[in-house]
Amino acid sequence: MIRALARLSGLLLVFAQMTAGYAQMPEPDGPSSPPNLQAPGETPRIPTLQALHGVELKDDYRWLEDGTAPNVQAWSDAQNKRSRAFLDGLPGVGTLRKRITGLITKRPASFGGVSLHGGRYFAMRFDPAKQQPDLVVFKTLEPGSRPRVLIDLMKFDPSGSTAMDWFTPSHDGRSVAVSLSKGGSEEGTLHIYDVANGKEMGETIPRVQVGTGGGSLAWALDGKGFWYTRYPRAGERPGPDLDFYQQVYFHKLGTPESSDRYEVGKAFSRIAEIQLQSSEDGKHVLALVANGDGGDNSLWLRGADGWTQVSKDEDGVIGASFGRDRALWLLSKKDSARRQVLRLPLETPSLAKARVVVSGQPGILQRVVPTESRLYVEEMLGGPNRIIQFDLHGKALSSNIPTEPVSTNILGQRLKGDDVLIYTSSYITPSSGLVYRSATGALEKTVLRTKPLADFSDAEVIEEHATSKDGTRIPMFILQKKGTKRNGANPTLLMGYGGYGVSTQPWYSDIAHVLLEQGVVQVDTVIRGGGEFGETWHDAGKLTRKQNVFDDFIACAQRLVELGYTSPARLAIEGGSNGGLLMGAALTQRPDLFRTVVSHVGMYDMIHVEDSPNGQFNITEFGTVKDPIQFNALLAYSPYHRVKDGTDYPSILFLTGANDPRVDPMQSRKMTARLQAANPKGRPVFLRTSPNTGHGMGSPLAARIETMVDVHAFLLHELGVTVKTVE
């Protein structure tokens, strides 16, 4: 995926923090009492019939698809009221709130997204005292350095509902462009700031990004203008097309947006998603154009003679960076399951002139950063990864960059010469930003270090494997307290994603220790559909092969039971977005295998995913109902259509945001109604809808905390865990 989600490590842990909560907080724990479980009430059934490829589909709940309808809003309000009554009354909720709030709000500020421009380091500062992060500027990254706040979003919007989608400084570091969006919508408006005084420069450009396709920007060398992504304005295209057809325009500072110059994009697909960058010498601009979210990209280059297409979707280029040697460095999946690195001279920007520089590595090549005389490459090794280095001719250098076992190591900003910034983390080691000094091979500490509040010295990480239905070996990473016995009685949380080529990687979170403190074993799965083992691993879990993803996850659950980690009565599962689809498939295909389910912003009615704007971007990953073969595959696993009356399903907590631009919240509404009707006297099914957030990006800190409290309290109660107080 071209969006920021593709670079999130530990994605499933993040989803537990993303969707929003409520400002009202219950009183701290009093005497233990049963939670307030109210009957959901009967949801009206209004039958509709739809025929596709000779199959007649009956649907009682299509009326729940219109989130603006008063009767749908009333239904959602009633579901929220019921969910709040239950969640607020759970034993231990006050204890959990105190512990989680302490871990989140008492830790020092952390930093991310560092970029170096004009001798200044720009970064996002995540201050637990604030609902949204600040954009700050450092003179140096040495330990103890204090940044200057450039943009304080809480001053811009004291409600905390405005988020910063992305920022791009000018080459000289004197100006910075930021995309700001509200209420989880991810519909970004561009603002320009003067870095010297932190003041806005007075010109804005709307709809540089939307929640479906994202957006980006590249500055001209002189800082007097920039290329940016632009969505159609009202009147330029029909209403249904306004969140599509992303193109590139050029804006000159000090001029009205109406005079902006069209640059490129009329030849792009309806579901284009564009990432822009400009070379350090300002002579070239690069546009990497994704055709939706399935993993195919085309590459366009702007030089002195305008824009030219360097590669097409079928050419396999999935990443590109400007080198300092007048070349483009390309990451390609063509003719290489584990990918390869190509060098393309800028003076002859034809893919036929590209030369293979790095190929045949044991792992999957993830990202390339060229410096003065070296190539740094991220190599994925089934989830964990390492950073290897070569000279510009592809010769492997003997010096290794030291990494921990079972860790995530991400290439960041290239610095002077051959130095580079590296981010490293593991399940039990906090993330740190380190400067790798090429001359000495040393990793130097910086101010970019997360200081832990939880002590993971009592924890261990174990790698296990399951065998999927077709014999494929599926890795799992298990985080548990040292000395945990395999007696089949451990409460266990199993997590998964399996889509878009996104890799599940080890990542540190203080919050993970909250479940460890309560005796819960946590398991990350490396299932097909992800990118942990390259293109074949992704392709084996997309389109008509999506069932492999669910088979892999179910196999992992069965293996945990076989090995004595847990039992179905003590096994919970959790996932979000595409991982929410996974939750729906798992609970409908093997309801006997799980005790409880938490599913964030998920897709469940796969026949109507593409009816929503972002569903068009997902066709390259899931397929379309317009194709009879893909329709049959979608219908075969569509969780909504697999619900059977009278089945004993696990207890379920669905979470969604009313403003979600990526997964229509109607998906959660319909799945909730269908499951509640399937077995009214069975385990409870809850729906929690936040009225002021979306898919999770940019949710205020208080909302994220309340989500974590609700999810933890629900999981522990349903797994039969009595919450212990931990100081």
CATH code for residues 110-278: 2.130.10.120
Q: Is the pLDDT of residue 516 over 60?
A: yes
pLDDT at 519: 97
711-727 confidence digits (pLDDT tens): 999 999 999 999 999 87
The CA distance from 578 to 432, in Å, is 29
Q: Is the pLDDT of residue 547 over 50?
A: yes
Q: Mean pLDDT, to the nearest integer, of 552-557?
A: 98
pTM: 0.90
The token duo for 548 is: 């492999």
207 vs 613, residue with greater confidence: 207
Q: Is the pLDDT of residue 6 over 70?
A: no
The set of long-range contacts for 361-364, using a CB threshold of 8 Å and a minimum separation of 24, is: 361/388, 362/338, 363/338, 364/338, 364/339, 364/531, 364/532, 364/533, 364/534
In the chain, what are the helix, strand and coil shares in percent, each to the nearest 5? 25, 35, 45
Q: Mean pLDDT, to the nearest integer, of 569-594?
A: 97
212-248 confidence digits (pLDDT tens): 788 999 999 999 999 999 999 999 999 999 999 999 9
Looking from the CA of 581 toward its CB, the CA atoms found within 13 Å total 26
Q: Which of 32-36, 427-431, 640-644, 700-704 has the highest mean pLDDT?
A: 640-644
Q: Quickly state the pLDDT bin for 186 (edges 50, 70, 90).
A: confident
Q: Mean pLDDT, to the nearest integer, of 508-521?
A: 96
pLDDT at 661: 65
pLDDT at 32: 41
The token duo for 270 is: 């309806």
pLDDT-above-90 percentage for the chain: 83
User: Taking the domains of the chain in order of start, what are their residue ranges?
Assistant: 110-278, 458-718
Q: Mean pLDDT, to the nearest integer, of 58-83?
A: 95
Q: Is the pLDDT of residue 31 over 80?
A: no
* 3-state secondary structure at position 389: strand
- The fold adopted by the segment(s) 458-718 is Rossmann fold (3.40.50)
236 vs 660, residue with greater confidence: 236
Q: Mean pLDDT, to the nearest integer, of 575-603?
A: 97
Angle formed at CA 564 by CA 561 and CA 566, multiple of 5 degrees: 60
Q: Quickly state the pLDDT bin for 657 (edges 50, 70, 90).
A: confident
How many residues appear in the chain? Answer: 727
92-108 confidence digits (pLDDT tens): 999 999 999 999 998 88
pLDDT-above-70 percentage for the chain: 94
pLDDT at 696: 55
Contact at 8 Å (CB) between 660 and 688? no
447-506 confidence digits (pLDDT tens): 998 888 999 999 999 999 999 999 999 999 999 999 999 999 999 999 999 999 999 999
Alpha helices in 61-174 (DSSP H): 70-88, 93-105, 153-156
The token duo for 93 is: 């909720």
pLDDT at 694: 61
291-329 confidence digits (pLDDT tens): 988 889 999 999 999 999 999 999 999 999 999 999 999
Which residues, 6 or more positions from 24, have their beta carbon under 8 angstroms from its beta carbon? none
The CA distance from 538 to 496, in Å, is 14
The reply to whether domains 110-278 and 458-718 share a CATH topology is: no
Q: Is the pLDDT of residue 30 over 60?
A: no
